[in-house]
Amino acid sequence: MSTVNIAIDGPAGAGKSTIAKMVSAEMGYIYVDTGAMYRAVALYITENNIDDASIENELKNADISLKFVDGSQRVLLGGRDVSELIRTPEISMAASRTSALPAVRAYLFELQKKIARENNVIMDGRDIGTVVLPNADVKIFLTAAAEERASRRYKELAEKPGHPAYEEILKDIIQRDYQDMNRETAPLKQAEDAVLVDTTELTLEQSADAIIKVIKEKI
């Protein structure tokens, strides 16, 4: 029996993970956050001081895996749950940089394909509809204006002590967009057959509803 695969791609901060979680709960599918896998690789490289030239060899020992607890994804690095550790601005930037390396992409590509072969998934990332699951049943490209993405992130962080300024968040978002869209291997771009959903003017609920509507029309 073949599995149902839904691809959601888009830039950092467009709301992919929050919205994909809502949609997967509604559909009863597993939600796979591929960005977390790139972040786990970045953490591995950072913790072990691995240089770019040795990555291909060293990745064989990385042992990155996912586990799902009550439908929610946890990322394991050598069996250690690093789901929270990978959410720092340093690891965001490191993941954006190391995800451009073909050896890193090849390693995670295999892992992602296997999960999608074995499960009904909503998989989010940058190259899911274009490279990882080119035959996905539904492809969505989720985006929003950079200023809106920065202001959402700012509101999320505003309560925490020592939070970054809005301008700094916006600068990081613009830099990550540029790196993700302009790398040679599997850059961020909309697949030709993906449906574009722009959430600049939408609430989370409206965005999730728009996506569920697209999915129900296609499946």
CA dihedral 107, 82, 19, 201 (to 10 degrees): -100
Residue carrying the six token digits 């274009």? 130
47/213 with CB nearer ligand DC: 47
Residue labelled with tokens 């597993």: 30
Least Å distance, CB 91 to ligand DC, is 8
Binding to ligand DC by residue 15, rule CB under 6 A? no
CB 41 within 8 A of CB 52: no
d(CA 34, CA 44): 16
Q: Is 96 in the site for ligand DC (CB under 6 A)?
A: yes
CB of 98 to ligand DC, least distance (A): 8
Would you say 136 and 41 are in contact if contact means Cβ atoms under 8 Å apart? no
Q: Is 172 in the site for ligand DC (CB under 6 A)?
A: no
Identity of the residue, 39 or 139, whose beta carbon is nearer to ligand DC in the bound complex: 39
- The verdict on 35 binding ligand DC (CB under 6 A) reads yes
Cα–Cα distance measured from residue 67 to residue 79, given in angstroms and rounded to the nearest whole number:
10
Across the strands, what pairs with 64?
A: 77
**Smallest separation, CB 1 to ligand DC (Å):** 26
Please state, in angstroms and rounded to a whole number, the distance separating the CA atoms of residues 142 and 124. 10
Site for ligand DC in 101-140 (CB under 6 A): 125-128
Please tell me the count of residues contacting ligand DC according to CB under 6 A. 15
Query: Per rule CB under 6 A, is residue 152 in the interface with ligand DC?
Result: no
Range 52-91, binding ligand DC (CB under 6 A): none
Binding site for ligand DC (CB under 6 A): 12, 34-35, 38-39, 92, 95-96, 99, 125-128, 176, 180
